[in-house]
Chain A
Amino acid sequence: MAELLVWPALIAYGQAAFAYAGELRGAGGLGRLGIWGVRIGWLAQTGLLAAQALSADGFAWGGWAAALNFMAWLVVSGYLIWGCRPRYRLLGLAVMPIAVGLLALAWLGGGTSVGEADRGGWVLAAHALAILAAFACFTVASAAALLYLLEESRLKRRDARLLRLRLPPLEALERVAARVALTGLALLSVGIVAGLTQLERGDVDATMTVTIAVLVLYGLVLVARREAGLTGRRFAHGVLLGFALVAVVLPVTHFAS
């Protein structure tokens, strides 16, 4: 029965994504509707995850589809940290479509059902949780970076309607992207270290290699921002490049192996 909670979550996230898109088209007043959709969806998904955790005999999100379900929840949770403030609400423009996509994929892959579990022990659970949280952080960071590029292009184009659709200020978007990416980097490091403790000789595969590449790339981008003035548009591109590795290369290598 608890499995049905995926529907209110999916519908509410979808409604939020449409509401934010409507705000972009100048419909006005839809942002408030959007944030309520996010809140309701988040509560429904929290209920679903709680049901999965309670009924599972072990770590409930070990499979790829279940992991996507959990990651969607983390992404929305990360968004809600800022999104409840009206000035940052439109971060949802970039975040909510991703959350809808993740949850829909999770449902298609059977990751929203209740009662299945992956028995991997606590260390592997910690490893998976840290990695998923890191990827969720990179998702939110890339959403902020995407909005940065959108807002920067509107400023460069001298868009007359710039003040009618108030995205967060450029500086704020860059700061959010940098902080969340840094948090993601720390979580990814913890996840990798936890994973290494369980590694046996010859276990290194393409997925692990790409994960290390993601760690290195985000590390370089953040260090360059601090030390070499890689700010603004170039920083946003760096964050998006890292996310491309997470969102495209990582799944390809995972399923190929």
Chain B
Amino acid sequence: MKLALAGVSHHQAPVALRERVAIDLRAAASLARRLASRDADGCEAVVLSTCNRTELYLAHPADDGLTAHADRALLELAGGDAGFLAAVTYRLTDESAALHLFRVAAGLDSMIPGEGEILGQVRDAFEAGAPGPFLDRTFRMALHAGRRARVETAIGESPSSVPAAAAALAEQVFEGLGGRKVVLVGAGRTSELTARNLLSRGATVSVVANRSVERAERLATALGAEAVSLSRLADAVAHADVVVSSTSAPGLVLTNSELAAALRGRRGRSLLFVDLAVPRDVDPSLAEIDGCFIYDIDDLEAVVAASLEGRRSEAVEAERIVSAEAERFASWRASLVVVPAITALRARAETIRSAELARAESRLASLSEGERAAVEALTAQIVAKLLHLPTVRLKETAVTSDGLHYADVVRHLFGLEEDEG
């Protein structure tokens, strides 16, 4: 089987080019079916299109023009003047294409190493595509490699964005965020993103405080919270577990003097301030109070940078896993070379056995049913035992460079060419 891949990704193509060939899952499914139906003789296709890449995977039993076919299909996607794509398109075949797919599934080819979405996107593309037995096995192996990389390394564990880092820090303070109260100070987009990240981990937004209560109300309604003005902030903080602040105020919004009474009433209960504003909203001296922790935007970005560094070091181990899986793929693909020869050899042996039994029919007529069954079983066993070792040896040599040669020798010795023909 031949495997061909043509694609563009964030490595070479800026978004202005990628968006020309980006398609949704339904269109990808339709394109895969169209590509697979080009040739009635076992063409298989899967189209993977995400915001970072569009890749066409084609497989065919013996098509040397497969890469050009994939290439043309990709250029057609871009429509009209598609010459610009040629320079940024990568074309890979067979083991290289499979290794690339495995790396994609493991998140090793992503902008952020180990990002979690890609594995699901590969699965969706595979399920929506038009895979035959070859691409089915190839994509299953890729998904397995992706899962192994995530389970056996920490490549996908640490946060890769400021909102995710804020939520992960909150989980480092509190034992689970279920039912934890979040207070948002400022009703901008940054607050909302961080709040949604906390919400996805079980926290609830209790209060949205803003200079303009009207604006706070819009966000509060969307998050199921209460909108208040900044003057009522101290009350809200007294009952909060996490305070996310991102106003555009020129000075401090949460000061030690204003919050002192509220914090005393907390009796040491932990409180995490996430200060995303520049200039900062939260008085740094609050960090001196027992149980109060403050992370500003620089701190959070440093946490994200350290996390990404960690992901990159985990990527080394993930690459090893992916390489091992790619080797398994190579062995399996090589074994496909000898499968037709083995199948023909076994079919030839079975034909001879059946013919010889039929020839001896007159001499076996006197046998009882049980005795006939015993003869059947005996001859079948002799054939199976005779063919066992050659089958094993053929499979073993399939992964070496001699695999094809051995298969030809078997075909020649047993005259299998006529049978296969």
Q: Which single residue of chain B is at the shortest CB-CB distance from A155?
A: B293
> Across the interface, which residues of B come within 8 angstroms of A233, CB to CB?
290
Across the interface, B303 reaches (CB within 8 A) one of A29, A162, A232, namely A162
Given contacts A231-B291, A232-B290, contact A162 B268 (CB under 8 A): no
Q: How far, in whole Å, are A156 and B173 apart by their CA atoms in the complex?
A: 11
Across the interface, A172 reaches (CB within 8 A) one of B154, B165, B175, B299, namely B175
Interface 1/0s, chain A 170-186, versus B by CB < 8 A? 11100100000000000
Q: How far, in whole Å, are A99 and B31 apart by their CA atoms in the complex?
A: 63
> Across the interface, which residues of B come within 8 angstroms of A160, CB to CB?
299, 302-303, 305-306
Q: Which of B40-48, B63-71, B307-315, B339-347 contacts A (4 or more CB under 8 A)?
A: B307-315
Q: How far, in whole Å, are A232 and B169 apart by their CA atoms in the complex?
A: 17
Least CB distance from B195 to A in Å reads: 20
> Across the interface, which residues of A come within 8 angstroms of B299, CB to CB?
158, 160
Q: Say yes or no for B269: interface residue by CB 8 A criterion.
A: yes
Q: Say yes or no for B270: interface residue by CB 8 A criterion.
A: yes
Q: Say yes or no for B159: interface residue by CB 8 A criterion.
A: yes
Q: Which single residue of chain A is at the shortest CB-CB distance from B314?
A: A28
Q: Say yes or no for A234: interface residue by CB 8 A criterion.
A: yes
Which residue of B172, B176, B267, B270 has the most chain A CB atoms within 10 A of its CB atom?
Answer: B172
Interface 1/0s, chain A 144-171, versus B by CB < 8 A? 0000000100011010111110110111
- Give the residues from 285 to 311 in chain B that come closer than 8 angstroms, CB to CB, to chain A: 287, 290-291, 293-295, 299, 302-303, 305-307, 310
Q: Which single residue of chain A is at the shortest CB-CB distance from B154?
A: A28
Q: How far, in whole Å, are A169 and B169 apart by their CA atoms in the complex?
A: 9
Do the beta carbons of A163 and B270 come within 8 Å of each other?
no
Q: Say yes or no for B371: interface residue by CB 8 A criterion.
A: no
Across the interface, B313 reaches (CB within 8 A) one of A28, A158, A163, namely A28
Given contacts A163-B158, A231-B267, A232-B290, contact A170 B314 (CB under 8 A): no
Q: Which single residue of chain A is at the shortest CB-CB distance from B265?
A: A229
The interface size of chain B toward A, counting residues with CB under 8 Å, comes to 32
Q: How far, in whole Å, are A213 and B275 apart by their CA atoms in the complex?
A: 45
Do the beta carbons of B310 and A162 come within 8 Å of each other?
no
Q: Which single residue of chain A is at the shortest CB-CB distance from B267?
A: A229
- Give the residues from 17 to 44 in chain A that come closer than 8 angstroms, CB to CB, to chain B: 28-29
Do the beta carbons of B171 and A169 come within 8 Å of each other?
yes
Do the beta carbons of B175 and A175 come within 8 Å of each other?
yes
Q: How far, in whole Å, are A229 and B306 apart by their CA atoms in the complex?
A: 35
Do the beta carbons of B291 and A232 come within 8 Å of each other?
yes
Across the interface, A163 reaches (CB within 8 A) one of B168, B176, B268, namely B168
- Give the residues from 250 to 275 in chain B that come closer than 8 angstroms, CB to CB, to chain A: 267-270
- Give the residues from 351 to 381 in chain B that come closer than 8 angstroms, CB to CB, to chain A: none
Least CB distance from B307 to A in Å reads: 6
Do the beta carbons of A171 and B168 come within 8 Å of each other?
no
Do the beta carbons of B172 and A170 come within 8 Å of each other?
yes
Q: Which single residue of chain B is at the shortest CB-CB distance from A158?
A: B299
What are 8 A-B contacts defined by CB distance under 8 Å? Answer: A162-B169, A163-B169, A163-B307, A164-B158, A171-B173, A229-B267, A232-B270, A234-B290
Closest 7 CB pairs of A and B: A229-B267, A160-B302, A231-B268, A171-B175, A160-B306, A158-B299, A172-B175
New contact pairs (12) apart from A169-B171, A170-B270, CB-CB < 8 Å: A29-B154, A155-B169, A155-B173, A155-B293, A156-B287, A156-B293, A158-B294, A160-B306, A161-B306, A163-B158, A163-B159, A229-B268
Chain B residues packing against A (C-beta within 8 Å): 154, 158-159, 165, 168-169, 171-176, 267-270, 287, 290-291, 293-295, 299, 302-303, 305-307, 310, 313-314, 317
Chain A residues packing against B (C-beta within 8 Å): 28-29, 151, 155-156, 158, 160-164, 166-167, 169-172, 175, 229-234
